[in-house]
Amino acid sequence: MQITDAKKTTQTDLLSQIRHPVRDDLKATDILICHELISRVPLIQTITQHIVSSGGKRLRPLLVLLSAGACSYEKNDNEHHELAAIIEFVHTATLLHDDVIDESKLRRGKATANAQWGNQASVLVGDFLYSRAFQILARRSNIPVMKCLADTTNAIAEGEVWQLMNQNNPDISIDDYYQVIHHKTAKLFASAAEIGAMIAEQNESTRAAMANYGLQLGMAFQILDDLLDYCSDAKTMGKNIGDDLAEGKVTLPLIYAMQTAPTQQADEIRHAITNASIENFHSILQTLKATNAIDYSRAQAQNYADQAMTMLDHLAPSAYREALSQLVTFAVARSY
C-alpha cells in the first residue's frame, strides 16, 4: 500500500502538536544529548553523531517529559532532561545492537552504522551509550529510578534473546510474540512514563497508572511497527520493506495468517520464515490481505491503545495530558 505524502505530512503535524507543550525541554534535552556524546575517541563521536542526526522521532524522551509535566513536576533543575537523554541513549544502544543482529543496511532512510563502520564498532558504541546512560544516572543517586532502569535494560536484553530464539521458527504462538515485544519494546515505554511520575513524586497509584499507560502504548506501537513492514513503503518508513521476513522474524500478521490461511498459503509463509526468504513476498502479502491479518493486527494495536487511554483518567486535565492522549493516536495511525 502506497502512503501519500499528504498523509505523512498530517502525521508529522500531529507529532509537532504533541511536542509543543515540552518544546523547550526537548531542545534542552537535545543540547544535553550532544554534550554527553562527547568522547576522546573519534570513532565514537562519528558514529553517535551519525545516529543523532538521522532524524529519529524521539518518542521515548518525549514521553518522559510529557509524563513529568502531566504529573506536575517542578522544574527546579534539569533532572527531567537528564532522564530523557538517558532513555534515548538506552533506546539508541538497542538500535545499534539490533541492526548488527539483523544485518540491517538501512534505518531512517540512511545507511546503518554497521553498514558504514562494521559490526564491531556498532556493538562497542552501543555499549558506550549504555554505560554513558548509567554514568548520567549515577550523578543523582536516585535509587528507585536506578532500579527501574536497571530492571528495564535487563528486560530488553531478555527480549532480544527471546526474539533471537524465535527467529526462523514458524511455530511460535501469538502469546510468544506478545512476550517478546513486551520485553523488547513496551518495557522501555513503561519506564519512560513511570519515571516522569517518579521525579514528580507522585503516589504509587499514579506511578503504576503511568507505567501501565507506557506499557500499553509500547505494545500498540510495536504491533503497528511490525505491521508497517507489510503495508507501507521504503520511502515512507526509511527502511526496506520486507526486512522482517528476510530476517526470519515472526510477527503478528504472519502468525495470524498462518493460523487462518488455507494449507498451501500457510505453508508458503512457513517456508519463507524458515528460510528467511522474500522470494514470494507479494504472494504472502496477498495472503495477509485475504485472511484479514492486516486488519486483525491493526485492531490488536488499537485495543492496546484504548487501554493506554484509560490510564490517563488518573491525571488532572492539562496540555500535557492532552499531548499524551494524542501520542496514543499517533502511535496507531502513523505510516512511519
Residue 7: what pLDDT? 67
d(CA 260, CA 269): 12
2 DSSP 8-state letter: P
Plot region of 108 (φ>0 → left; ψ -120 to 50 → alpha; else → beta): left
- pLDDT above 90 covers a percentage of the chain that reads 80
Question: What mean pLDDT is predicted for residues 97-124?
Answer: 85
Residue 238: what pLDDT? 54
Residue ranges and CATH numbers for the domains of the chain are: 7-333 (1.10.600.10)
Query: Could you tell me the pLDDT band of residue 141, with boundaries at 50, 70 and 90?
Result: confident
Question: What mean pLDDT is predicted for residues 92-98?
Answer: 91
Residue with cell 503511568: 210
- pLDDT above 70 covers a percentage of the chain that reads 94
314 vs 237: which has the higher pLDDT: 314
pLDDT above 70: residue 304:
yes
Q: Beta-carbon neighbour count of residue 119 at 10 Å?
A: 16
Reading the block at residue 207, the C-alpha cell is: 506511578
Question: Quick check: 229 and 336 in contact, CB under 8 A?
Answer: no
Question: Quick check: 60 and 189 in contact, CB under 8 A?
Answer: yes
- The pTM score is 0.92
Residue 2: what pLDDT? 44
332 vs 232: which has the higher pLDDT: 332
Note the pLDDT tens digit of each residue in 46-83.
998 888 777 678 999 999 999 999 999 998 789 999 99
Query: Could you tell me the pLDDT band of residue 271, with boundaries at 50, 70 and 90?
Result: very high
Grouping H, G, I as helix, E, B as strand and the rest as coil, residue 291 is coil
Residue 76: what pLDDT? 78
pLDDT above 90: residue 264:
yes
d(CA 307, CA 321): 15
d(CA 331, CA 226): 12
pLDDT above 60: residue 239:
no
Question: What mean pLDDT is predicted for residues 214-224?
Answer: 98
Write down the mean pLDDT value for the chain. Answer: 92
pLDDT above 80: residue 241:
no
Query: Could you tell me the pLDDT band of residue 4, with boundaries at 50, 70 and 90?
Result: low
For 146-150, 241-245, 294-298, which range has the lowest pLDDT when averaged over its residues? Answer: 241-245
pLDDT above 80: residue 1:
no
pLDDT above 80: residue 233:
no
Query: Could you tell me the pLDDT band of residue 214, with boundaries at 50, 70 and 90?
Result: very high
Residue 56: what pLDDT? 75
Nearby residues of 146 by Cβ (< 8 Å), 6 or more positions away: 137, 138
What stretches of the chain show up as alpha helix (H) in DSSP? Answer: 5-19, 23-36, 42-52, 59-70, 79-102, 113-117, 119-138, 143-166, 174-181, 187-199, 204-231, 234-237, 243-246, 252-260, 263-275, 281-290, 293-311, 319-333
Grouping H, G, I as helix, E, B as strand and the rest as coil, residue 74 is coil
Residue 8: what pLDDT? 67
243 vs 210: which has the higher pLDDT: 210
Question: What mean pLDDT is predicted for residues 269-296?
Answer: 96
